[in-house]
């Protein structure tokens, strides 16, 4: 006699399509942040856009800040940034830095959505997520700085000063490009992106004054 097949049942309280619901809510929230801004995006808006009930939304996210944090996490460039630092190559500190910057800018460009979200994070949570992101990069960045020091050629400046200067250059380069008026951004495209970055790195490495003026 053939025994009937045992049908597995979901655990009590478990939702079979939990992941798909969460993904739909995150997609809806991100779209609404872009269209309406964070301040105007409410839970009813998000639930309606995702074609789900508010009760389901509240099962996934207890409040607006929790939802924002989840959207930030979904678009976080952390893994790409860590990979970029690992892939940086060069025989000297200068070559390593140039290689790392090109890798990092490319990584952030692939996560362009995150930049707008980061501004919301600064406004709403005082940059709490960005602080977590920085902490996640810190150990890898410290290892990269040691590689630069081992390669030689660095001035005897403290690690904290060098680290902050490099971070400021990276963030400044990204923000300055996005802050440009549309017409200026169009004009900037006449120069290859690599030439822009190498030019900025030249000024960072060698300064803006002639040798006899220093």
pTM of the entire structure? 0.79
The mean pLDDT of 17-22, rounded to a whole number, is 91
**Around Cβ 32, how many Cβ atoms within 10 Å?**
19
The mean pLDDT of 161-187, rounded to a whole number, is 84
pLDDT band at 175 (very low <50, low <70, confident <90, very high): confident
Structure confidence at residue 42 (pLDDT)? 96
Q: Which residue blocks in 16-127 are alpha helix, DSSP H?
A: 18-36, 43-50, 54-60, 64-74, 78-87, 93-109, 112-125
The mean pLDDT of 116-126, rounded to a whole number, is 92
pLDDT band at 7 (very low <50, low <70, confident <90, very high): very low
For residues 46 and 67, the answer to whether their CB atoms sit within 8 Å is yes
Q: In 3D, which of 73, 65, 87 has the Cα closest to residue 132?
A: 73
Structure confidence at residue 213 (pLDDT)? 52
Structure confidence at residue 10 (pLDDT)? 41
Structure confidence at residue 194 (pLDDT)? 86
pLDDT for 50-101, tens place per residue? Answer: 999 999 999 999 999 999 999 999 999 999 999 999 999 999 999 999 999 9
- Mean pLDDT of the residues in the chain: 87
Regarding predicted confidence, which is higher, 183 or 122? 122
Place of tokens 């040798």: 211
Regarding predicted confidence, which is higher, 109 or 84? 84
**Residue partners of 176: CB distance under 8 A and separation at least 6:** none
Structure confidence at residue 212 (pLDDT)? 60
CA–CA separation, 51 and 26 (whole Å): 12
């Amino acid at each position: 006699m053939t025994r009937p097949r045992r049908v597995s049942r979901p655990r009590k309280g478990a939702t079979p399509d939990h992941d798909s619901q969460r993904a739909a809510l995150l997609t809806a929230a991100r779209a609404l942040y872009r269209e309406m801004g964070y301040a105007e995006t409410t839970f009813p808006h998000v639930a309606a856009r995702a074609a789900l009930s508010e009760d389901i939304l509240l099962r996934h996210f207890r409040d607006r800040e929790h939802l924002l944090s989840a959207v930030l996490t979904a678009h976080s460039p952390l893994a790409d940034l860590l990979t970029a630092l690992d892939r940086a190559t060069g025989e000297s500190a200068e070559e390593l830095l140039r290689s790392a910057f090109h890798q990092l800018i490319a990584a952030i460009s692939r996560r362009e959505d995150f930049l707008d979200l980061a501004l919301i994070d600064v406004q709403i949570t005082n940059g709490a997520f960005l602080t977590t992101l920085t902490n996640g990069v810190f150990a890898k960045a410290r290892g990269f700085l040691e590689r630069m020091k081992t390669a030689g050629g660095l001035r005897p400046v403290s690690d904290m000063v060098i680290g902050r200067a490099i971070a400021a250059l990276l963030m400044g380069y990204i923000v300055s490009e996005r802050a440009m008026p549309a017409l200026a951004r169009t004009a900037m495209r006449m120069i290859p992106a690599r030439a822009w970055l190498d030019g900025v790195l030249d000024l960072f490495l060698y300064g803006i004054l002639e040798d006899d003026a220093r």
